Amino acid sequence: MTSSPERTRLAQSDNDIFVALKGEEARQRAELELIPSENYAFPEVLTLLGSAFTNKYSEGYPGRRYYGGQEFTDRIENLARERAKALFRAEHANVQPLSGSPMNQAVYLGLLEPGDTILAMDLSHGGHLTHGAPVSHMGRIFNFVRYKTDPSTGAIDFEALRDVARATKPKLVVCGYSSYPRDYDYADFRRVADEVGALTMADVSHIGGLIAADVMRNPLDAGFDVMTTTTHKSMRGPRGGLILCKEKFAKKIDASVFPGLQGGPHMNQVAATATTLRLAAMPAFQDYARQVLANAKALAAALNVRQVKLVTGGTDNHLLVIDTVQSFGLDGAKAEAALDRVGLTVNKQVIPDDPNPPMRPSGVRLGTPAPTTRGMGHAEMEEIAAIIAETLAAGGDAAAETKLAARTHTLTSRFPVPGL
């Protein structure tokens, strides 16, 4: 919603929601988004999400729909599929998953049988809810077994991973993370999977944009069977998911998404995904992705200089995890709240084998996709690190926090949010 007649109409018809919308826009401008899974969508994405495509039902796939009137929806879905295949060097693409959870569920349910064993990363070591958390439906349907990181290096312990694989004979090996600050060689997973006859799936939701820009490794290049990614994180697209796979799994994956799991795809989202994939193929996006990585390294270095303890000591990707208990004697919930008060938005985060519960864990997680979208660079990462360290050391002192909040606002006022 960008044009003012539409905004005026909304203000008149539902002022409560209009006021909340204006509040959220003001919050996003004034504060700095440091949650690594969040970003500011391309303005084109915001336009398409609010477009006429939202009105259309398109159950099925291009050329084989259950409803008429599909000339333009077929066109956008075909474009999205072709662009996704080209960008990620994939044999097949499904662009309909409504978001990350149904995307991963569609893969499990399409390629496996209930009760099958899946080897995936332990949640506290960086895995995701959809990688079999006991509270998730997938955790009840499938038998998830775990690998972890090595406490001495912070990297994945491949010896232990191989032992678990040999002992449990998984049907699927899943890699991918939402709080692991390192990269890895996908061939290592592939070798283990091949040894035990398992399929391979990489959930690269956090780094999909960085893989699209070729600044991080692409698991499909290492022969992975399936790769999933959300489109709204480092890619700056709409909320949604992509499944990329070998041609031999195409039928099973497509049938699993629809009619297996979902009904009508959100065609406004598919249109926005198509545009995102075009923008992500541009040289400017490669520059952006390189800067995301450079900013993460700069932020980590500036925190290290201030004696802030980072899980694994630093980062190879776009995210960092601060051990706030060791660094400041603060649990992650208190650290998140303190940083909120000075205008920095982060999220509390469990650290490997965290002795504390998820709502009061031992750390916070930060990422650089969103500040980089605003155009911030090395100098701003230094200032953000200083604000973080000084805020968490201030012990809730209101006068200190007021000054720190003013520093955040100086920063954000210099770097507008694209599209707002």
Q: How far is the CB of 94 from ligand DSN (least distance, A)?
A: 18
Q: Which of 182, 233, 236, 334 is catalytic?
A: 233
Kindly state whether residue 349 participates in binding ligand DSN, applying the rule CB under 6 A.
Answer: no
Kindly state whether residue 37 participates in binding ligand DSN, applying the rule CB under 6 A.
Answer: yes
Size of the site for ligand DSN (CB under 6 A): 4
**Residue of 178, 269, 372, 412 that binds ligand DSN (CB under 6 A):** 178
The Cβ-side half-sphere exposure at 102, using a 13 Å CA radius, reads 20
Q: Which of 59, 150, 214, 316 is catalytic?
A: 59
Q: How far is the CB of 66 from ligand DSN (least distance, A)?
A: 30
Interface residues for ligand DSN in 115-174 (CB under 6 A)? 128
Task: Assess whether 373 carries a catalytic annotation.
Answer: no
Kindly state whether residue 237 participates in binding ligand DSN, applying the rule CB under 6 A.
Answer: no
Q: What is the secondary structure of 168-215 as a DSSP string? A: H--SEEEEE-SS------HHHHHHHHHHHT-EEEEE-TTTHHHHHTTS
The torsion angles phi and psi of 392, rounded to 5 degrees, stand at -75, -20
Task: Assess whether 163 carries a catalytic annotation.
Answer: no
Q: Which residues pair with 242 in a beta bridge?
A: 229
Task: Assess whether 273 carries a catalytic annotation.
Answer: no
Task: Assess whether 412 carries a catalytic annotation.
Answer: no
Instruction: Enumerate helices (H) and strands (E) in the chain, giving the number of each.
Output: 17, 14
Q: Based on CB atoms, which residue is closest to ligand DSN, 179 or 200?
A: 179
Kindly state whether residue 231 participates in binding ligand DSN, applying the rule CB under 6 A.
Answer: no
Q: Based on CB atoms, which residue is closest to ligand DSN, 60 or 367?
A: 367
Count of other CB atoms within 10 angstroms of residue 170: 25
Cα separation, 202 vs 230, whole angstroms: 12
Task: Assess whether 59 carries a catalytic annotation.
Answer: yes
Q: How far is the CB of 9 from ligand DSN (least distance, A)?
A: 33
Q: Per this entry, what is the length of the chain?
A: 420
Q: Based on CB atoms, which residue is closest to ligand DSN, 179 or 218?
A: 179
Cα separation, 357 vs 350, whole angstroms: 8
Q: How far is the CB of 381 from ligand DSN (least distance, A)?
A: 21
Kindly state whether residue 100 participates in binding ligand DSN, applying the rule CB under 6 A.
Answer: yes
Kindly state whether residue 228 participates in binding ligand DSN, applying the rule CB under 6 A.
Answer: no
Work out whether strand 60-61 and strand 64-65 pair parallel, antiparallel, or are unpaired: antiparallel
Cα separation, 416 vs 374, whole angstroms: 6
Kindly state whether residue 208 participates in binding ligand DSN, applying the rule CB under 6 A.
Answer: no
List of E strands, 48-116:
60-61, 64-65, 92-94
Query: Which positions are catalytic?
Result: 57, 59, 203, 230, 233, 239
Residues that bind ligand DSN (CB under 6 A): 37, 100, 128, 178
